[in-house]
Amino acid sequence: MLVARGRDPGDGWGMKNFAFASLILLSPLSVLPLGCGSGSGNNVIGGSGCGVGPCGGDVVGTWNATGLCVDKSVLMSAFVSGLMDSCSGASLADTTSFTPSGTLTFNSDLTYDIALTLNGSVGINVPPSCFQGGTCAQFGAALQDVVANDPTIQSVACTGNCICTFVEAPMQDAESGSYTVSGSSLLTTPTGQTTADTTGFCVKGTTTTFTQPAMARMETGVIAIVAQKQ
Low-confidence ranges of the chain (pLDDT < 50): 1-42, 83-85
Separation of alpha carbons 174 and 180, rounded Å: 19
Separation of alpha carbons 177 and 156, rounded Å: 37
Separation of alpha carbons 67 and 37, rounded Å: 28
Separation of alpha carbons 82 and 61, rounded Å: 41
pLDDT of residue 158: 92
Radius of gyration of the chain from its Cα atoms, rounded to whole angstroms: 19
In eight-state DSSP terms, residue 13 is T
pLDDT of residue 30: 38
Separation of alpha carbons 93 and 38, rounded Å: 12
In eight-state DSSP terms, residue 99 is E
List the domain boundaries for the chain: 9-229
Q: Backbone dihedral region of 61: left (phi > 0), alpha (psi from -120 to 50 degrees) or beta?
A: left
Express each pLDDT in 188-226 by its tens digit: 999 999 999 889 999 999 999 998 877 766 666 778 899
pLDDT of residue 95: 84
pLDDT of residue 217: 66
Q: Would you call 73 helix, strand, or coil by DSSP?
A: helix
CA end-to-end span of the chain = 19
pLDDT of residue 197: 87
pLDDT of residue 108: 98
pLDDT of residue 24: 39
User: Would the CA dihedral through 101, 187, 184, 206 be positive or negative?
Assistant: positive
